[in-house]
Structure formats: structure tokens, C-alpha cells
Chains A and B, each alone.
Chain A
Amino acid sequence: MSYLTLALAKGRLSDLGLELLARVGLGCDMDKRSRKLVYVNEDKQLRFFMAKPADVPTYVEHGAADLGIAGSDTIREEGRSLYETLDLGFGKCKMVVAGFEYAVDRLKYGNGLRVATKYPNIARRYFEEKRQTVEIIKLNGSVELGPIVGLSDVIVDLVESGATLSANGLVELDTVCEISARLLVNRVSMKMEYERVTDIINSLKGFVDDHN
């Protein structure tokens, strides 16, 4: 039997992901301080590695990882060809349009609207569906700065508690979509390792269903 490889999004989701895997008996000892990149559960013939969240769909699409755990935000943004088999129910947050309160009028007419975001594809699709042509500016972090320093009218970003927004005087203007962690499966692994992959999906699903 060969190893099944699972890619985990580093950061926000990894602790919860590892905990969930451990609960259904698929965990492994991961020493946080170690600089090792790949961990193995010999019992279940599973390999794990941590990757930057935005890269998890890429590993899974190419089959470098058979399975992956990543947020639906990165999945939407990356638009990779893969299976998104399960809503794992944790890491919940929202993708929103935010800005100063007065921007709400500006949002009604897209023409010339400047949107700063880490998620240009999600933002583009959202405004396309609203039939608005806007100018999207890609930023790599601290997107809230956009309206504050006058780079953009609004932002499209993830919001968990809303604390960062309100601390900077920004408000949610519209919800783009709900976000949560998903279990990804490579299209070929789903077929070639059908039983093992399905077992993993079902045990995770059982656990998630029981706890919702």
C-alpha cells in the first residue's frame, strides 16, 4: 500500500484541521518547533505536510497531495480543477465588501469603483454578477488600509469578528460569500484510491455531522 498524502493549510486552519484528523484517528505527532516539512502516520499510511493556504489547491490539483484541507476562500480564488468533497464546518468566516459607511452609495453604481483585495478573482466574479465594471487592485496584506489611505473606495476581504474593521472605522457593506474549511481531493486519487479516500471522507463526515 502506498502513502496517501494530505496537504494542510498553514495558520488559521491547521490546528483545527489536525485536531479534527486526530479525533477520527488519522492524526500524527507534529512537532511545531521542528523544521521538518513532512510527517507520517505509518499505521494508516498517511503523509502530512503544511503549505501556504493559497498553495494547497495547487498541490491537490497536480496530485502532489491526494487530499487537502483549505478554506473555501482560497479554493474559490484559485479556481483549480479538483473535488471539494466536504464542508468541515470549522474556520467559519465571511468574505465581505467593506468600506466607510458613506461608500454604500458608491457601491450601487460600480462605474469607476476602486476595490482593493487579496482575492482579485473572487472580487471580480462578485462584481461581474452584479454587472458592475470595477477596478480591482491586488494587495498582499493589510487590505483595510485601502480606503483609509485613499487607495481604494472599498475592500473585499475575510472577516472573522469584525474587530479590525471597526477599529479602523470601516463597516461591512455586503456579504460576498460564507467561508469554511473544506476537504479537497485530487481527481485521480478519488478514483485510483477510491476506498481509502472514501473511508477518510466518511469518517470525517461522520464526525462533522455529529458535532453540528
Chain B
Amino acid sequence: MKDKQLHTPEGFRDFLPDECMLKRDVIKRVEAVFTGYGYRPVSSPMLEYFEVFDKTGSTPPAQMYRLFDREGGILTMRSDMTPPIVRIAATNYAQDDFPLRFFYTENSFRCHESYRGRAGEFTESGVELIGASGIEAEAEIIALAIQSLLAAGIVDFKVYIEHTEFFKGILNECTRLDDQSVVSVMETLYTRNMAEAGKLLRSCGASPDADRLIERLNSLTGGRKLLDELRRMNLGASAGSAVETLLGLDDILSDYGYDQYLFDFVPSGHLDYYTGIVFHGYARGMGFSALDGGRYDSLPPRFGLQKCGSAVGFAIKVDNLCSILNNKLDNNGVVAPADLLLAYAPENRAMALRVASQFRAQGLIVENAFEKAHTLEEAMDVAADEQSPVDRLILRARRKNISGVVYFGEGEQVIVANAMDGTRKLTSIQKLLREEL
């Protein structure tokens, strides 16, 4: 029988120090980018009322962990950071505070089917820009997305920008398509199932224009050239204005100096609350997206934000970034937990701790070996077991990749050893206090 005491639930995991350090480092780098653009941190509770997410198009209900409060109200482990942040914006700020710029790093939770290899808990670092409409706001968010991936150390990536209204617009222009057929065709587009989409369109007699576009699905991804080409086609009002929006966005993004993006006119299936631009960041080395974002003007009004109701944002999937970075790391050596290993005789404890503090102030990591030091003669003695206490400390340091050992014996003398090559020198406490190592 499984001893549950020794396991984590499926989809949940522990992070050991090396992974945690990488994760914190990634978070620190992307948050520095957010801060530089005037975004300020917010934090929301892990438990929310179910109603915050329900019917927002955020998360399929089956994927939400649910529990009950004392009054029988339904609570949920948050599954997406965007609705809680819109709630924060709607309930804490006056109109002239807008636009609001928030960032967060939080864990969200989703309940996936068994044996699918999907995480039940995941960390996201993201930004939300609330109360700013138009392409300047969208460009800032996409520029931030690109810059954060670069700052995290991801090199080989591309951000793909889509527009929710492009295909929807074209399909809605087909007068003989009812709403249900539009939904069905969109769903087949999400999986790039040209065969099915074409069949559906023909069966309800869509215009040859739409049919031709479906035929071309796989060449509807590209840069400026594609935009210019689509602009010249007669695609109807809403698809046309989607193309214009993306053209404007392209201009601003090149002013930001970025070219790590492409436009994709095939919708890839996204959260239902997106309205307008949607983007995904993909990086080599990971089968899933590294970040997702877009405009979600439909969400703020649900929380009572009628004015200043436009919003755009994105979330980086921190765990996905870490797994890309982790695979790239040279895993030859163990990451050193410290720079120096410290041992002292009780009579020199105060001095040893003072020296250690001094090293720490210089940025070195000093680890106490909890090993009682002897007189120098004993320390160097290679009598019975052919390993002196200093030898043993050096070996212990080397095993953990710690580069040095400082040994405060009885009396004034200190041994400083290089654990890598085993060389050691004698020095004094006074000297150590005076100079840097």
C-alpha cells in the first residue's frame, strides 16, 4: 500500500535547492523588467470564491479545485491570476488612478486528468495593464513579454501575435453561417484541421473567399509582408480592422527595437475572455508555450468596471522557462552550496564568527562545518587513519564543490586551505581580520 506520508499528490511536486535557486533567479530577472516599466506588485489570496472565475471564460470548471466554506459557499483554489487582479482593480481604485500597472508572481492550481503529465500547481509571473486601450498599451505589453524572456536567459524563442476578430470576422461575413457553425469552424481551426474546416464551410455554403483562406491556413503565419498582403484583400470590416491593428502594432514594436515576433492569423484556441490581440511565446526545448497573453476587455465590466474597462496582460509560465533553462545547464558539476567551510576551536569561536561575518559581508557564502577544531599539531597529524582532521574537512568541501576551508585551531594560528588542489597555508586571526581572503 502507498504510504501517503511519503508522497505528494499527483501533479504536485517538491523543488530542491538547485531548482529553487534557478526559479528565484528567473523570477527576479523578469520582475526587474516589470518594475522598470512602472508595474507594481500585488498579491491575492490562494482561495477565492468560485464566482470570481465562474463564467468568465477563464478555466474549464472541471479543472478547478473546489471546497466549501462554513456557510456552504463554494471556494476555489485560484486557477488563473487575471480575474483576481481585475477584482482588485475594480474594488480598490478610483477612476483617475487608471491606467493601473500591476505585476505578480503567484502559484495557481488546476486539476487535470490523471496520468497526463500536467502540473496541478504552477508558478506564473505576469503583468496586467488595466484601463489603457489601443495599440500603444498592447505594444508595451508585448515588448515587456519579449524583454522578460530575454532577461530570463531564453534565447531561441518567438512571440506569435494573433487577433480574435480576424477569422471570426470573416466567418460572420458569411451570411449563411449561423452562430453554431461559426463556433464549430473556429474549433476546427484551433487544431488547424483544414480538412474538417473546409468540409464544414462547404456544407453550409460559405463564400469562396473564406474557403480559400482555409486552404491557405498554413501560409497565414508571417511578418510585415503577410500583413501587407492581407491588407490588400477584401476581407470585410472586422477582419480588415484586425489587420490594421496588427500593422500599427508592428510599427510600434519595431520602434521598441524588437523583431522576435510574428503574426499568426490562425487562432490557436485561447481563453474565452480575450478580445482582440492574443499572443503566445514559444521557446525551443519545451512542447508547451512559455507565456500567454492578450487583450481582455470583456473581463473588467464583469467586475463592475464599466469605464476604464480595457485591459491587456500576459503571464510567463515560470516552471516551463526553468525546464528549458535547466536542460541547457551544464550538469557536470554540483552547484556549490557555499564558498567556504568553517571550523573552529571553542576558545576561538568569537574570532572565527567575526571573520566569517566579514567574509559574508564581502558576498561569500560561509558554511559552519560543526566540526570541533583541535590544536594545529593535532589538526595536521596524519597518525592512525592517515587522514588529518584538516584533510577530512578538505575532502568534505571538495565533495560538495566548496572551494575553501578555514580552520581556526587553538591559539593564534589559522589554516586556510584550497579544497580544489589541497594546498594550504598558515595565517593568523589578526591577518585574516585585516585583509581580504
Contact = CB atoms under 8 A, between A and B. Distances in A.
Contact of B268 (A186, A187, A189, A201): A187
A170 B264 CA distance: 49
**Chain A interface residue number, banded:** 20 to 34
Interface stretch (B191-199, B236-244, B401-409, B413-421): B191-199
B284 A83 contact: no
B160 A83 contact: no
A198 B219 contact: yes
A86 B289 contact: no
B158 A192 contact: yes
A180 to B, nearest CB: 8
Nearest to B191: A84
A87 B195 contact: yes
Contacts of A41: none
A188 interface: yes
Given A187-B268, A191-B282, A62 B287 contact: yes
Given A62-B117, A186-B287, A188-B282, A86 B191 contact: no
B297 to A, nearest CB: 26
A92 to B, nearest CB: 12
Given A85-B218, A187-B268, A191-B282, A61 B193 contact: no
Given A61-B287, A63-B286, A85-B218, A185 B158 contact: no
A211 to B, nearest CB: 15
B117 A201 contact: no
B221 interface: yes
B156 interface: yes
Nearest to A193: B284
Interface in A61-107: 61-64, 81-87
Contacts of A63: 286-288
A190 interface: yes
Contacts of A189: 287
A198 B191 contact: no
Contacts of A81: 269
Interface string B174-202: 00000000000000000111111000000
Interface residues of B, number: 25
B269 to A, nearest CB: 8
A3 to B, nearest CB: 12
A188 B286 contact: yes
B193 A85 contact: yes
Contact of B192 (A62, A85, A192, A202): A85
B86 to A, nearest CB: 26
A192 B284 contact: yes
Interface string B136-160: 0000000000000000000010101
Contacts of B156: 192
Nearest to A186: B287
A85 B194 contact: yes
B219 A86 contact: no
Interface string A175-201: 000000010011111111010001001
Contacts of B218: 85, 198, 201-202
A150 to B, nearest CB: 30
Given A61-B287, A62-B287, A188-B287, A83 B191 contact: yes
A187 B195 contact: no
Nearest to B290: A188
Contact of A188 (B117, B194, B262, B289): B289
Interface string B272-305: 0000000010111011110000000000000000
Contacts of A82: 191
A56 B195 CA distance: 20
B393 to A, nearest CB: 45
B282 A192 contact: yes
B146 to A, nearest CB: 15
A138 B276 CA distance: 43
B286 A83 contact: no
Nearest to A2: B284
Contacts of B284: 188, 192
A186 B219 CA distance: 17
Contacts of A186: 287
Contacts of A194: 221
B287 A64 contact: yes
Given A62-B117, A191-B282, A86 B195 contact: yes
Contacts of B219: 198
B288 A86 contact: no
B169 to A, nearest CB: 22
Contacts of A192: 156, 158, 282-284
A194 B289 CA distance: 15
Given A63-B286, A182-B193, 8 more contacts: A62-B287, A83-B191, A84-B193, A86-B195, A187-B282, A188-B288, A189-B287, A192-B284
Interface of B: 117, 156, 158, 160, 191-196, 218-219, 221, 262, 264, 268-269, 280, 282-284, 286-289
- Name the 6 nearest CB pairs between A and B, nearest first: A63-B287, A87-B195, A83-B192, A84-B193, A191-B282, A188-B282
22 contacts: A62-B287, A63-B286, A82-B191, A84-B191, A84-B196, A85-B194, A86-B195, A87-B195, A87-B196, A185-B192, A187-B282, A187-B287, A187-B288, A188-B282, A188-B286, A188-B288, A191-B158, A191-B160, A191-B221, A192-B282, A192-B284, A198-B219
